[in-house]
Chain A
């Protein structure tokens, strides 16, 4: 009797549950309940990079890709903002904009027209160590593209009207960023403090300086650094090395080799004392925090464990900082860590965009996370997750133009194949112990901290640091506040 009623109870309650869950539950296949397991990683087969050196010292590399009828040409000049004269930071950038703005008997409009005629786009990027021009066009116009490039290289004019145009545009955009873009302001300020007297500091130039640059300064820089033995051309497309070097040579063999010693830039010392700075950005709604220090150069083999470390700490959406400051505390809209690599050193930094009232609390939490990750080993599962993210992400970063961009980075920094053909292995080999060693070696404490936000809100909060330096939006030190003041 008892058993019967129990049975009835089970039947009835099961029915009730099933009815309330609805009919569809019954019809759902089992495989829908859980995400499927991934298959093993597909093999990454990267195309070889073939290289040759022309008689004038110009290096030419070719990555043969047959899928698309487009060619990407990258001209790398091994001189960037770090090589600008000490008194004229910004010169390398200014020059890079002028490069495609005129040649002998060729106005900037005519150049634009020629580029667009071959279905092309042209862009420039200046880093502290090098400069890259990227030129993409329809493959049937390789000759036209090289001819245009040779005229830009061999017959620059730096005409007054173009100098003024570029100057105006550059000053306007820098001023605009300085007045409105908290990320630009914060990162620039952080880099200025970290690089103090180091040549890399020149990358953080103020817009006013552009007005001091004259034609003869441009020519001096151009004559010194824009020479074939200080340059490298990388071509990606449906072509082979012998065709490519023959064609490049036809248009650029009159580019004269010059005596040039590539000077070695020694790395700066990391900051040794914690410094907290507030840069005023009136009416900013959020507080933007950039916190960082100087770490290893890109050429170091420690880059690989460091990359895993960075992913665990500050990976977007999954890193410890994100899980704590955004998901758990609700302080930050966004928070991540990143590394900006240079030849002789790099900057490791953490970025957080937070509600102003929790600015100082956020900094404390960031410090806590750094302390945590440098004092205890990271569980193997987490390390493996970070590695599989990096290995999965790598091919995604190589699609289309990014492919040649990666190759020019490897070329510019003279990196080995562990950054290219063997990248997967380089990451796969990293274990928890290695990450732990790296975390301790490059432990961020004591970092330089830059906060960008509205001074009126941020200074109203109780200051919990020994000292706070207050800067105006131009980056000029106004005054210092001691704890309790």
Chain B
């Protein structure tokens, strides 16, 4: 009798072990088999998604908390709210953390702390010696749980943002043009307004506005906690549960606003920028969503046209024809929207016109002539190196994983992602060029006053 019981137990134990092994093997295939670093994930009851990646090369750890909120979520008339909240989160304390205590503690232990707010994300980052992990989780959980939003703090934070806006106007002479360009390229308030907001809107923001925005978006169910570095995953999970599990789930997060439709026709505008010192132009193409299959080729096009000193635009306009003083081209994404932006300045209006023509001719060339294998390889290698650099340090890796999850709500496709960029062919490049670099472009000519 007794013996039988034992043997049943043993069988069930063995079965269990087998099942565990199969599950383990499966999860290894699902996530991380081809990834060059370790990765595990879990979700808390309150919806907080947690990502862990161990790396024992140095005794340090990076903690990134990313919220799925940015300037596109700001209610009309309240531009700058997300950036204002970043200031409150960084400096003004929470229920158990005094003003400046967060930054003070991190610096005292030799760590680094930073934050960033964009159109579609708000990210808080810290890198510390790994024995201080619990302290960082204590700090991060406290500001997620109980940010100190009071009239005095909100006023101070508003003054800070207004100060930054004024300062930027003085140092970034083309700000007026950039804002006007974004309004044309991303029609409608939600996607078209700057992250920093504007003075009028900021002044109208009330304590109630801040509280509402905070309780809607800065919640566990709208956040990703990503930890990379010298951690024991079991211990780290225990700590995460201790500090975050009892934070109540927030309300249902409203879907981001739908982008406004735009007319499929070219937009050309001339602006007289009161602060600009040189004439220039901004050229924009609306391209496929960053979540679409076309985006892989588009990212490579960014390298071919405008990344590095041997890119096509740099080589032709700066080195060969010497017609611009600087030129930049890059993809900008805002939620599901993406645009390819090219910006350049020339010493006079004749050269400005010439450079516009040269840029368009380079774009046409890439539409009509297949790129050589060698040039495509070069662009892929540059992309590959940048891609690897995104997980080369603990901070980069924690951020990389948080941002990837934030954008796609899964990391399942991460192992093959780099391969997908490297598989793009030259005919795909030409096809994608013809699909997106069309006549429906936005051109803003900047003249000096």
Do A and B bind?
yes
Across chains A and B, which 5 residue pairs bring their CB atoms closest together, nearest first? A393-B110, A392-B110, A119-B385, A42-B59, A392-B129
Interface bits A377-389 vs B (CB < 8 Å: 1, else 0): 0000000010011
Taking a contact as CB atoms under 8 Å apart, the answer to whether A396 and B105 are in contact is: no
Complex Cα distance, B385 from A137, in Å, reads: 7
A-B contact pairs, 26 of them (CB 8 A): A24-B146, A32-B145, A33-B96, A36-B135, A38-B135, A39-B134, A40-B131, A41-B129, A67-B37, A67-B57, A109-B310, A117-B381, A138-B381, A138-B385, A316-B107, A318-B104, A318-B108, A391-B110, A392-B132, A395-B58, A395-B59, A396-B111, A396-B127, A399-B393, A399-B394, A400-B393
Chain B nearest CB, measured from A187 CB (Å): 22
The interface bits of chain A over 64-98 (1 if a CB of B lies within 8 angstroms of the residue's CB, else 0) are: 01011110000000000000000000000000000
Closest to A32 in B: B96
A268 within 8 A of B: no
Separation of A395 and B111 alpha carbons in the complex (Å): 10
Q: Per-residue CB proximity of A33-47 to B under 8 Å, as 1/0? A: 111101111111000
> What is the distance, in angstroms, from B345's C-beta to the closest C-beta of chain A?
16
Q: Which residues of chain B are within 8 angstroms of A391 by Cβ–Cβ distance?
A: 110, 129
Q: Which residues of A contact B146 (CB under 8 A)?
A: 24
B299 within 8 A of A: no
Inter-chain contacts of B111 with A (CB < 8 A)? 392-393, 396
Q: Which residues of B contact A33 (CB under 8 A)?
A: 96
**Complex alpha-carbon distance, A36 and B128, angstroms:** 14
Return the CB mask of A107-120 against B: 1 if under 8 Å, else 0.
00100110011111
- How many Å lie between the Cα of A277 and that of B59 in the bound state? 45
**Assuming the A-B contacts A39-B131, A67-B36, are A116 and B388 also in contact, with contact meaning beta carbons closer than 8 angstroms in the complex?**
no
Residues of A within 8 A of B393 (CB): 399-400
User: Are A41 and B109 interface neighbours, CB within 8 A?
Assistant: no
Cβ contact of B308, chosen from A116, A136, A396, cutoff 8 A: A116
CB distance from B143 to the nearest CB of A (A): 12
Contacts of A141 in B (CB 8 A): 381
Residues of chain A in range 389-411 having any CB-CB distance to chain B below 8 Å: 389-396, 398-400
Query: If the complex has contacts A318-B107, A392-B132, are A109 and B59 also in contact, measured as CB distance less than 8 A?
Result: no
Q: Which residues of B contact A68 (CB under 8 A)?
A: 36, 388, 392
Selected contact of B381 from candidates A67, A119, A392, CB within 8 Å: A119
Q: Say whether A9 faces chain B, with CB atoms less than 8 Å apart.
A: no
B385 x A29 contact (CB < 8 A) = no
Residues of A within 8 A of B109 (CB): 38, 388-389, 392
- Min Cβ gap B85→A in Å is 20
Min CB gap B300→A, angstroms: 13
A219 to chain B, nearest CB (A): 26
Partner of A36, one of B58, B60, B134: B134
Contact of A70 among B138, B378, B385 (CB under 8 A): B385
Q: How far is the CB of A312 from chain B (nearest CB, A)?
A: 12
Q: Is the CB of B108 within 8 A of A65?
A: no
Partner of B310, one of A40, A43, A112: A112
**Interface of B toward A, CB cutoff 8 Å:** 36-37, 55, 57-60, 95-96, 103-105, 107-112, 127-132, 134-135, 138-139, 141-142, 145-146, 230, 242, 246, 308-310, 315, 319, 374, 377-378, 381-382, 384-385, 388-389, 392-395
* B-facing residues in A252-290 (Cβ within 8 Å): none
* Bound complex: CA A36 to CA B141 (Å): 13
B398 CB to nearest A CB, Å: 12
Using Cβ atoms and an 8 Å threshold, which residues of chain B touch A24? 95, 146
Q: A112 to B309, alpha carbons, bound, how many Å?
A: 7
Closest to B129 in A: A392
In the complex, which residues of chain B have a beta carbon less than 8 angstroms from the beta carbon of A392?
Answer: 109-111, 128-129, 132
Bound complex: CA A227 to CA B96 (Å) = 61
In the complex, what residues of A have CB within 8 A of residue B377's CB? 117
In angstroms, Cα B179 to Cα A481, docked, is 50
Contact B378 A116 (CB under 8 A): yes
Q: Which residue of A lies closest to B391 (CB)?
A: A68
Q: Are A317 and B242 in contact (CB under 8 A)?
A: no
CB contact between A317 and one of B59, B103, B389 (< 8 Å): that residue: B103
Task: Please name all residues of chain A whose beta carbon is closer than 8 Å to the beta carbon of B59 when the two chains form the complex.
Answer: 41-44, 395
Q: How many contacting A-B pairs (Cβ < 8 A)?
A: 131
Contact flag A389-B388 (CB < 8 Å), given A32-B142, A399-B394: no
Instruction: Give the residue among A39, A67, A392, A396 with the most B Cβ atoms within 10 A.
Output: A396
| Nearest opposing residue in chain B for A69, CB measure | B388
Q: Which residues 11-35 of A have a CB within 8 angstroms of B?
A: 24, 28-29, 31-35
A395's closest neighbor in chain B, by CB? B58
Q: Is the CB of A31 within 8 A of B242?
A: yes
Residue of B nearest to A141 (CB): B381
Minimal beta-carbon separation of B268 from chain A (angstroms): 34
Q: Considering the chains assembled together, what is the distance between the CA atoms of A393 and B132 in angstroms?
A: 12
Among B128, B309, B394, chain A packs the most CB atoms within 10 A around the CB of: B309
Residue pair A400, B382 in contact (C-beta under 8 Å)? no
Asked whether, in the complex, the Cβ of A119 is within 8 Å of the Cβ of B142, the reply is no
Shortest CB distance B388–A (Å): 6
Task: List the A side residues contacting B55 at CB < 8 Å.
Answer: 67
Give Cα distance in the complex from A42 to B57, angstroms.
11
- Complex alpha-carbon distance, A117 and B134, angstroms: 44
Flag if A38 contacts B131 (CB, 8 Å): yes
B134 touches A38 (CB 8 A): yes
Asked if residues B385 and A44 are in contact (CB atoms below 8 Å), the reply is: no
Q: How far is the CA of A40 from the CA of B37 in the complex (A)?
A: 26
Within 8 A of B (CB), among A165-204: none
A47-65 CB mask vs B (1 if < 8 Å, else 0) is 0000000000000000001
In the complex, the answer to whether A385 meets B131 with C-beta atoms within 8 Å is no
- Given A33-B96, A138-B385: 6 more A-B contacts, CB < 8 Å: A109-B315, A109-B319, A317-B104, A389-B108, A391-B129, A392-B111
Q: Which residues of A have CB within 8 Å of B139?
A: 35
Given contacts A32-B142, A70-B388, contact A116 B309 (CB under 8 A): yes
- Choose from A109, A120, A399 the contact partner of B58 (Cβ within 8 Å): A399
Q: Please measure, in the bound complex, the distance between the C-alpha atom of A48 and the C-alpha atom of B49, giving whole angstroms.
A: 38
A344 to chain B minimum Cβ distance, whole angstroms, is: 29
Complex Cα spacing A39 to B136, Å: 13
Residue contact A32 to B138, C-beta cutoff 8 Å: yes
Closest residue of A by beta carbon distance from B145: A32
- B residues in contact with A28, CB < 8 Å: 95
- Contact residues in B for A29 (Cβ distance below 8 Å): 246
Cα distance A146–B298 in the bound complex, in angstroms: 32
Chain B residues with CB under 8 A of A316? 107
